[in-house]
Amino acid sequence: MERDIDRVLIDRNAIAQRVNELAAEIADELAAEADADAATPLEVTLVPILTGSFMFVADLMRCLPMRMQIHMMSITSYPGRSTASRGASVVAGLTRLPESLAGLHVLLIDDILDSGQTLQLATQTLRDRNPASLRTCVLLRKQREDAMHTPVDYVAFDIPDEFVVGYGLDFDDYYRNLPDIVTLKREVVEA
């Protein structure tokens, strides 16, 4: 696996530090919202998008001190060896959202914002369930026009427009266990 790596873009220490910072920012904003409406105790509903966000959300949620629930949502857009979006669609059998999100402060979490199709579909799916508030958070945002024009509240890192793996992100479902965010050698992706 190591021999397939071209270069490390973001190492594990930088990820850990930035996830901590981002969690503090999110916690502060949620606390301010709860203060503004004293009737609402501070509570958040996390909606991670499977599969790629699992490592990010596991780290982020442990830095968020408030009461929370978590409901997974599965969206697929890069099947198999794809490195470009094939169009995002909700995987119904794997998505476990309540019918209504009324009264809930929702934080949607994904690993990467690339074409923006996944985030747009997820956002619309959640809005249709009427949450009290909806915030969106991604670990990575690619510096490409589609991504930069997709609304998102929290971004841990802006990265160059290159295919990346590690820390939950895959190529053909491999490499998710790499602790750093890396690029792969061209011959691995084009084989």
Ligand X SMILES: O=P(O)(O)OC[C@H]1O[C@H](OP(=O)(O)OP(=O)(O)O)[C@H](O)[C@@H]1O
Among 73, 112, 134, 178, binds ligand X (CB under 6 A): 112
Task: Using alpha carbons only, give the angle 6, 137, 132 rounded to the nearest 5 degrees.
Answer: 165
CB of 6 to ligand HPA, least distance (A): 13
Interface residues with ligand HPA (CB under 6 A) are 78, 112, 114, 163-165, 169-170
Question: Per rule CB under 6 A, is residue 181 in the interface with ligand X?
Answer: no
Q: Round to whole Å and give the CA distance between 39 and 103.
A: 12
Who's near 131: CB < 8 A, 6+ residues apart? 45, 101, 102, 104, 105, 106
Question: Per rule CB under 6 A, is residue 164 in the interface with ligand X?
Answer: no
CB of 84 to ligand X, least distance (A): 8
CB-count burial class (<10 Å; 0-12, 13-18, 19+) for 33? middle
| Whether 6 is catalytic | no
Q: Which one, 23 or 147, has the nearer CB to ligand X?
A: 147
Question: Per rule CB under 6 A, is residue 57 in the interface with ligand X?
Answer: no
Long-range contacts from 151-155, C-beta under 8 angstroms, 24+ separation: 151/123, 152/113, 152/119, 154/22, 154/25, 154/26, 155/113
Among 78, 167, 171, 175, binds ligand X (CB under 6 A): 78
* Partner from ligand HPA, ligand X, none binding residue 116, C-beta < 5-8 Å depending on class: ligand X
Question: Per rule CB under 6 A, is residue 52 in the interface with ligand X?
Answer: yes
82's tokens: 């794809």
Give the interface with ligand X as residue ranges (CB under 6 A): 49-52, 75-78, 85, 88, 110-119, 170
Active site residues: 114
